[in-house]
Amino acid sequence: MDIKSSFEALDKQFTSFGGLEQGGITRLLYSKEWKEAVTQLETAFKEIGLDAQFDDVGNLTGRLQGTKYPNEVIVSGSHIDTVAEGGHLDGQFGILSALVAIQSLKEEFGAPLRSLEVLSLAEEEGSRFPYAFWGSKNFFNLADNADVKDIEDAEGIKFVDAMRDAGFGFRQNDTVRDDIKAFVEMHIEQGKVLEAEGKSIGVVNGIVGQKRYTVNLKGEANHAGTTPMGLRKDTVVAFSKIATQLTEKAVSIGDPLVLTFGHVTPVPNTVNVVPGEVTFSIDCRHIDQEALDQFANEIETTIQTICDEDGITCDIDRWMDEEPTLMDESIVKVIESSAQKKVGDQYKVMPSGAGHDSQIFAKYVPTAMLFVPSIDGISHNVKEETNIEDLVKGIEVLKETLYELAYKE
């Protein structure tokens, strides 16, 4: 089979489910567009001879039975949902690349020794409801139904009602699968590193840990014309010092540490009043837990020091504290060897700066990821794109990886 034409046909077909006039996709969990996509995916699995099965919440697997070790399963896939006005590759490429790779393996080599599965996870993005990783968390019986029982989307539709209208419900079986020997997730990079370095493949060795804060500073609101500079307790000035000093420290430490001040709300936020209060967010990420912890201490110490100097009080809420997730070394080596065979030295071993379903899987089964470049690093955007040549190379490396894992003794 021709990998390029097969992928392009599938991508065109599935991009139509939630496809937008300006390009890209909006395909939110349990929406009409989502249901159309998973229904067609079930058909696509069956058409190439895979046994297609939904679980209770809408995760879909397509299985090619192994001949010698059927109860040892190699799984590849990603999530089927998108963000609002997202691209056609984030999530979808991971599923379609696995489908094309397994179809090509089946046609070329017949049935594998170990069973192969394509996995379409119901949800990862958290775009419709305030809950992320619903698919992978249910896959391992981690989801607490109470967390979604009363949540609603922006239109006031309850999670439970949307789920039932789509034909699914809460997980009924507490049993967690113990037959998965490897999970390999293909994804676009969603960054500029591969493109900047001229690499076709990223071999992911870990997913960064994240610490996120909401910080509130309180000073004193006062008249902008009558309050001398030396008598002010200006929270925006304090915030600017915090952002500047911490950014300079992050730059001096260097990659792979990243720091972002993404949301800032001053009060009263008007032209002629010294802002007496400001609330802002901080997002800090690193692949090394010790380095992440050290910089978190730097964040909190810097905030407190500046506030003390400026006569301002602060409340620091660290509401996310996710540890880095390391990929399985043996699977990483298989992917690296496959990349070497298919693209020579045009690959890079690298961490992922974004979260993925693999961070859930890695806690329970041997897991690794592949990246292909993103043009201009754009993702979660209708302009999200990757050169078709790089997409094909990614599928070829994935195919070689699955061959090594499922067809070799």
Binding-site residues for Zn(2+), please?
Answer: 79, 90, 125, 187, 380
DSSP 67: S
Please report, for residues 53, 281, 306, 323, the alpha-carbon distance to residue 319 in angstroms, rounded to integers and kept in the order given: 37, 10, 22, 13
Beta-strand ranges (E) seen in 122-208 are 180-188, 201-207
Residue numbering of the annotated binding site: 79, 90, 125, 187, 212, 272, 285, 380
Q: How distant, in Å, are the alpha carbons of 21, 88, 169, 218, 297 from that of 380?
A: 16, 9, 28, 34, 31
Instruction: Report the candidate in 62, 137, 122, 131 with the shortest Cα–Cα distance to residue 91.
Output: 122
In the three-class reduction of DSSP (H, G, I as helix; E, B as strand; rest coil), residue 10 is classed as helix
Cβ-Cβ contacts under 8 Å for 180 (sequence gap 6 or more):
73, 74, 75, 365
Q: For residue 397, what are the β-bridge partners?
A: none
The SS3 call for residue 282 is: strand
Show Cβ contacts of residue 202 under 8 Å, excluding neighbours closer than 6 positions: 189, 193, 194, 347, 348, 349, 350, 370, 371, 372, 373
* Collapsed DSSP state (helix, strand, coil) of residue 267: strand
DSSP string, 306-374: HHHHHT-EEEEEEEEEEPPEEPPHHHHHHHHHHHHHHHTT-EEEEEESS--THHHHTTTS-EEEEEE--
Relative orientation angle of helices 3-15 and 388-406, to the nearest 10 degrees: 110
Identify the DSSP state of 220. Answer: B
Going by the annotation, the residues of the binding site for allantoate are 212, 272, 285
